[in-house]
Structure 1
């Protein structure tokens, strides 16, 4: 039987079309939109976790001083500059005393005058006491003579009245003396206050330290409380570090710390948490801890940035997962667990996290469960997956 020539041609084209359709279907199913999503997986393992906290901190001084006047005035002297080391009690700057010296001299003169007033009051008191004693004796004698009818009743009453007047004069002299002494005490207190004000214009170093800022120059007018100089104690330098609230479980004092300064990234310094601030930053969602160094390096300066790692105690044996396996759907935290070759989203409850990328699993999984770590695309319950050792373009 002989077939027409165009029939064989049609047959060849049909076979070619079938092959092309099969190839296209294979490509679509293997690498097209219907192809399975390639994923890498990991098994839930049991082990101990050594959690750590990491944060960026700033070197600060625990003890810093703002040196300034207690009253408004003009700066007359500044005797130190930025970077100078000073001793406790050293004169750093001085304010213009204006009329304090003259006021002190005026009070000294008033106190001298008050001393003379006290002396005069004492003399008047002695005279009044003598008169009172004499009037008392005379009144007693008059009463005795009156009882013997040697003096009239009117004369006796006159002597008694003289006695009362003398006693009143003595009491007035006592009051004048007390007032003079109180005036002397008041003037002495005013003089002490002025001398204290005179001392306050001398700005002294409260402790041994280093000048870090010079905020006013000679001739500048400053108000009460305004800083002329800023002083820190280099031995009190520590690091204020900010830590993520969500990872700060277990943060407490005395935790060991490792510090790397920006000025020397090749050296790790040991330290510990000296204090945990009682208030947190609600905007950045961070907690603040103060870390002290075991040994202060030479040249450490306030304001320098540092990387701080805090080491928490190791946990008991627990289930562990790599951090990239954790996914969030709406308000749930979970993982994609493989059941056969089908992914299923499984909610989990997590615990501590280590800096090497492992997370503690408290509920939701058991040892040996296979979970997706990385995937080429977002997974759903109906996604077909293909497990591979490594995704294309990822780091081995």
Structure 2
């Protein structure tokens, strides 16, 4: 009787424990570390990609004109302000002449004296020539001594040399006056091109040295973007490619442009390629120099091929590929990739065919032995 009671208890315990074990195993296989990995899948499709490059640049002026005096002096007046538009040849300021006008008048007096000196030298030369001819005739008739004839010829040569010296003095005085007038003209600050004033670096009364800028101008038609692109992703960059420019201050507006040139010297520190991108039409109003701009450069289209999302790419054992789903099991497929676009698609040259099913997102890392559970989506996978 006692044995029957023990046997009944054992059977009861087994009846309780076995379902619990089964439930635990089921739970462990479905929600624990042994549970299948939830994944989303996508099929490889035939298509084309529109490759493009994206980079950040700054607005710069190709031609900047820094206008200032050629000699040290004091600023007399500045007639323009920052933001003003000026025309080529427009007077925009002037330096204080100090004593330069007096020096020009003094040089004009010197010039008049030199001109009077020439007239005097010409008169002396004419008199000396006449005397020399007269005494030469008298000497031929033996009406005077040879010594007097020689003396008159020497006086003629001296008069001719004096005339030459007077002419040299006149030329020197004219050159000095021309130099002073040129200096006086250089005191006028004139715009060399049509442009916009970007800097006013000196105010009236300020003393500046030779070559120091008083006003800075830029030509609005010469604006361009100094673009920087990562060297790794800059393949295919070339001049004359079309580009879309979005200024930081005008994020809702896309301005057309093109690549003017690719700089022959790259930035070795930041590992970037440099390019100059110009606007197809000068933007209005003119953007500030130094403003950041986002530039998208369109590369030439490529031939149609198998295309997959680049989010599906994985690296296993040093190879880049995707996890391919075949008959419910995982298989890693190494790929040879081609061009990519800014929409997150990549071209597959080798390794997949159209219609192959691959893993797009997974809730954790995968391996060949991983069991998977295909679901429509994973929370937060597309963020």
Q: Specify the SS of the correspondent of 1:126.
A: helix
Find the counterpart in structure 2 of residue 255 from structure 1.
241
Instruction: Summarize the alignment of residues 1-396 of structure 1 with structure 2, pairs less than 5 Å apart.
Output: 3-138=3-138, 140=140, 159=146, 166-303=152-289, 304-328=291-315, 332=318, 334-338=320-324, 340=326, 341-344=329-332, 346=334, 348=336, 350-363=337-350, 365-380=352-367, 385-395=372-382
- Separation (CA, whole Å) in 1 of partners of 2:316 and 2:148: 109
* Cα displacement (A) at 1:248: 2.7
Answer whether contact 2:82 2:199 (CA < 8 A) is retained.
yes
Please give the per-residue CA displacement for 1:331-362, whole angstroms capped at 9, x wherever unaligned: x56113437423436253x4332111112334
Three-state SS of the structure 2 residue aligned to 1:191 is helix
The secondary structure found in structure 1 opposite 2:165 is helix
CA RMSD of aligned residues (A): 3.4
Contact 2:230/2:271, CA 8 A, preserved across alignment: yes
Moved over 6 A (4+): none
Contact residue 335 and residue 371 of structure 1 kept, 8 A: no
Aligned equivalents of 2:35 and 2:153: distance in 1?
A: 123
Displacement, 1:49?
1.9
- Residue by residue over 1:110-162, the C-alpha shift from the partner in whole angstroms, topping out at 9 and shown as x without a partner, is 212222222222233323333443454455556xx9xxxxxxxxx9xx72x65
1:96 is displaced (CA, Å) by 1.8
The question of whether the paired residues in 2 share the 8 Å contact of 1:337 and 1:369 is answered with no
Normalising by structure 1, we get a TM-score of: 0.80
* Cα distance change on mapping 1:171 and 1:23 into 2, 3 Å: farther
Which sections of structure 1, spanning at least 5 residues, go unmatched?
146-154
Aligned partner of residue 118 in structure 1, secondary structure: helix
Q: Aligned pair in 2 of structure 1 residues 222, 390: CA closer, same or farther (>3 Å)?
A: same
Question: For the residues of structure 2 that align with 1:75 and 1:333, how far apart are their CA atoms?
Answer: 69
CA contact (8 A) 1:237 1:302 kept: no
Within 1, Cα distance between the matches of 2:150 and 2:309? 106
Residues 337 and 108 from structure 1, CA distance in 2 versus in 1: closer, same or farther, beyond 3 angstroms? same
Q: Displacement of 1:2 after TM fit?
A: 6.2
- The alignment partner of 1:251 has SS state of coil
Q: Verify the 8 A CA contact 1:343 1:385 in the aligned structure 2.
A: no
Q: Which runs of 5+ in 2 are unaligned?
A: none
What TM-score results when the alignment is normalised by the length of structure 2?
0.83
